[in-house]
Structure formats: structure tokens, C-alpha cells
Amino acid sequence: MTTLELQEELAKLYNKNASHIAEDTSELINKHRQQAFEDFKRLGIPSKKNEDYRYTDLMSYLKGEYSYEIAPSKFSVDLDDLFRCDIPELDTFIVLVLNGFYYKQNNPVGLPEGVIISSFAKASIQYPEIVNRHYAKYADTKLDSLAALNTLFAQDGIFIYIPKNIKIDKPIQIINIGFSFKNLRITRRNLFVIEQDSSASLLICDHTLCPRSFITNSLTEIYTGDNASFNVIRMQNENGNSSQISNTFVYQEANSRFSSNTISLHGGLIRNNTFAKLNGEGALNKTYGIFFGDNDQHVANYTHIHHAKPHCESDQLFKGILDGNSTGAFNGKILVDKFVVKTQAYQRNNNILLSKTARMNTKPQLEIYNDDVKCSHGATVGQLDENALFYLRSRGISNQEARHLLMYAFADEVIADIKLDPLRQRMNEMIEKRLRGELARCENCKVHHLGN
């Protein structure tokens, strides 16, 4: 299958189902589809000739037979019984998304007044003003065809709204589930709006529940108002047959603080594109990630941090551990506009290759159009430190254990940034299991026990 054939197939799929796809979303959403369709047709599926996808061979993961569901899946199993995430001492407002659709239309209870956590489709009808103010405002469908594709097919996902002056201590948690009896294409669309002087943290867990292949196209738009604070921790843990392309667009107002920590634990293809626009003075952006690859997995992180106003700071840190035939890519772009002075922008990407066949491509891309900027970037690709390894072994620690300690330590720099103690602990446990080659799963999360 060529990129063109896939493009035609998807266009056909849309044309056939257009009216159904637009059925449950409001006109605010639907009015963007036509433009997205044109963008998608013009841009096509990115091939390796596309500079941004040079190291991500999308087609080798996206080809094949996949079904598409234009309505929420119906199962006879009791999902409430299955989806029980109990990270000790971590109490969250929890919502579930099954194959791209909000699962059960009842919102979490006990939310502070005015806070909304709901289905994206439903929100587009119930809260048109908020949705209209933000939807498709940050995601540029002209730049990325997969963003265009998402806007074309967007039906559901999660909508979060935190009004002014609200600080939610209890984290919000979204569990994205892939579960099907057939290989499935999934589209997910999220919109998170954190208004002025508010703060919240969000945990996103991506799981597949069965060994079927899933191709997920996920797009999230995030708005942080003046002096707002939003922290997103994401754990991507899908089966090795599945592909996930995630576009995240962040728009930050003055003095807002946005941080993300993406833990790509497992998956066939994981491609994360993060676009951030720092559009108010004093905004702070932290984009962190740690990824693991083995077998034939591919993990790619693309960032695009745009400093559009002076006195902002951005900090990127991505670390990767690759084994087997896995491949990874990091492309970190920092764009600082003219007259955007007193900018601080940092970027670092460190990678460890555990096998001779694992490969990593890393590329910093700095475009800076003024002189009053503090900026640094660095990238390394290497093996485990032989001196450190010998030091540990000389104390009686086995070679294998010493390697685990060093890999774990390598990951720690990213994980240490997670502020929620129970969650950080859980992530550490998951990573430790992952490094030991055990199936990384939360002990009590019943989600996994069905599929594997």
C-alpha cells in the first residue's frame, strides 16, 4: 500500500460516513471539517520524504486492514468492573475513553463548582461558547496532515474546563482504552481549557486491552490562561501491534506554567508531536519525556516550541533507552521570534542504545531571530557507562543488576520531575518492570488481565 492509496481509502471512508461522523457533534466542530479535508487531501499521508517524518516510516505501521467505528463500541462485559485503576494513595477524578469514545455519560462527582470534565462531543453542544473560543484555534491543520485527519474525523474524546481561580488538588485521570475484536482505527479529540489563575494536574493512561492492532490518531488542544498552571503526565502503554500518533497543541498566556511528562513505556509505533506557543510574557513550558523501545518498536518525539513573547522560558528533556531492533527519533525545534527578548530556551536529548541494531536519530533545530536569548541544546547517543558498570560489579552487584541500576538511574532524571509522590513511585515500578522485560502493568489494573 502506498501513501496515496491510504489517503484515498481514508477519504473514501470519510465520504461514506460523513453524516454519521458529524451526527453527535455541534456545528462548531463540524464547520471545520471541510477545511481539514482539503488540507488532508493536499498534504497527504507523510512519507519519509517529508522532512518531519524522515525517521518515522509511518506506512510500514499504518498499512493493513482496519475497521472504523463511527459509534461507541458496545460490549456485554461490565467495563466498570474492569477499569479499576488503584494506584495506592492516588485519588483521582477518573474518566474512561473506549476506542475514542467517552465511556458512560456521567461525569465524576465532587468536582469544584464550575469545573467540567465531560465528553468532547457533548461539550460541543452543552458549552458552545467555551468550545468555540478554543476549538481548532491551536491545532494547525495546514501544518500536519495527521492533525487535519483528526479534525476531519473528530467525534469524541475528553473536554476539561477549569474556570478562573480554581485550584484542583486531586488529579484528573483519563484512561484511554483500545478494545476490539477486529483491528481498529481510532480517532480521539481532546480539549483542555485552564482559565486564569487556576491550576490542575492530569494523568493520561493509554492502554490496549487485547492483542488486536489499533491505529490511534489523537489530538489534544490545551489552553492555559494568565498565571494558570497545568501539569500533564502521560503513560503510553499499548501492545506491540499498535500505533499511536499524538498531536498536542499548547497555547500559553502570560505567566502560565505548563509541564508535560510523557512516559512512552510500550507500543509498536509511538509518534508524539508537541507544539507549544508561548504567547504571553513570563510563560514557562516544560516538555519532558522518557521512552523505551525493543523488538521492532519505533518511538519518535517531535517538539516545536514557539517563543512569541519576551521573558518566557522553555525546557525540554527527552531520554530514551533502545534495545533490539527498535528505532527512535527526537527532533526538537525552538523558534524565537524577532524582538522576543529575554528568552530562555533549553533542550536536551540523551539516549542509550543497548544493542548493536538499535538506532536513534536526534536533531536539534534552533531558529532564533534576535540576540537577547539564552539558549542551550545538547544530544547524546551512547551505551551504558562501562566505568560505572565495573564500579557496581566490583561491589558484588551482578552485571545484569548493575545494568538495571544504571538504566533506572538514567530514567530517574525525567521521573523525578513528577510531583505527585504515589504516581512517581508507580511510574518507577513500571519502569523497573519494563527494564526487566516483564510486562509493565499496574498490579491492580484489571484492564490488562483481559487481553493478555
Partner 1 sequence: MLNIKNLHVAIEGKEILKGIDLTVKLGEIHAIMGPNGSGKSTLAAVLAGRDLYEVTEGEVTFEGEDLLELSPEDRARKGIFLGFQYPVEIPGVSMVNFMKTAINEQRKFNNLQPISATDFLKLMREKKEVVEITSNLTNRSVNEGFSGGEKKKNEIFQMAMLDPKLAILDETDSGLDIDALRIVANGVNKLRREDNATIVITHYQRLLEHIIPDYVHVLYRGKIVKSSGKELALELEEKGYDWLKEE
Task: Give the SS3 label for residue 432.
Answer: helix
Give 57 or 429: the residue with its C-beta nearer to partner 1. 429
CB of 444 to partner 1, least distance (A): 24
CB 303 within 8 A of CB 287: yes
Q: At what angle do helices 386-393 and 399-415 cross, to 10 degrees?
A: 120
Give 338 or 395: the residue with its C-beta nearer to partner 1. 395
CB 160 within 8 A of CB 117: yes
Residues of this chain, 392-421, that bind partner 1 according to CB under 8 A: 392-399, 401-402, 405-406, 408-413
Give 152 or 411: the residue with its C-beta nearer to partner 1. 411
CA distances from 192 to 98, 178, 276, 367 (A): 19, 22, 14, 29
Alpha carbon distance 203, 171 (integer Å): 7
Give 158 or 411: the residue with its C-beta nearer to partner 1. 411
CB 263 within 8 A of CB 427: yes
Give 104 or 436: the residue with its C-beta nearer to partner 1. 436
Strand residue runs (E) in 131-198: 158-162, 172-178, 184-194
CB of 400 to partner 1, least distance (A): 10
CB 320 within 8 A of CB 328: yes
Residues of this chain, 364-393, that bind partner 1 according to CB under 8 A: 385, 387-388, 390-393
Partnered with residue 296 across adjacent β-strands are none
Task: Give the number of other Cβ atoms within 10 Å of residue 352's Cβ.
Answer: 21
CB of 342 to partner 1, least distance (A): 30
Give 174 or 392: the residue with its C-beta nearer to partner 1. 392
CA dihedral 27, 33, 35, 38 (to 10 degrees): -160
Copy the grid coordinates of residue 136: 481548532
Give 140 or 429: the residue with its C-beta nearer to partner 1. 429
CB of 411 to partner 1, least distance (A): 8
Give 125 or 397: the residue with its C-beta nearer to partner 1. 397
Alpha carbon distance 245, 265 (integer Å): 15
CB of 428 to partner 1, least distance (A): 11
CB of 85 to partner 1, least distance (A): 27
Copy the grid coordinates of residue 218: 489523537
CB 334 within 8 A of CB 378: no
Residues of this chain, 28-87, that bind partner 1 according to CB under 8 A: none
CB of 412 to partner 1, least distance (A): 4
* Contacts (Cβ under 8 Å, ≥6 apart) of 330: 300, 301, 302, 318, 320, 349, 351, 360, 361, 362, 363, 379
Alpha carbon distance 160, 305 (integer Å): 23
Alpha carbon distance 208, 269 (integer Å): 13
Alpha carbon distance 337, 326 (integer Å): 36
CB of 399 to partner 1, least distance (A): 7
Size of the site for partner 1 (CB under 8 A): 23
Give 101 or 410: the residue with its C-beta nearer to partner 1. 410
CB 344 within 8 A of CB 354: no
CB of 224 to partner 1, least distance (A): 30
CB of 382 to partner 1, least distance (A): 14
Give 41 or 393: the residue with its C-beta nearer to partner 1. 393
Residues that bind partner 1 (CB under 8 A): 385, 387-388, 390-399, 401-402, 405-406, 408-413
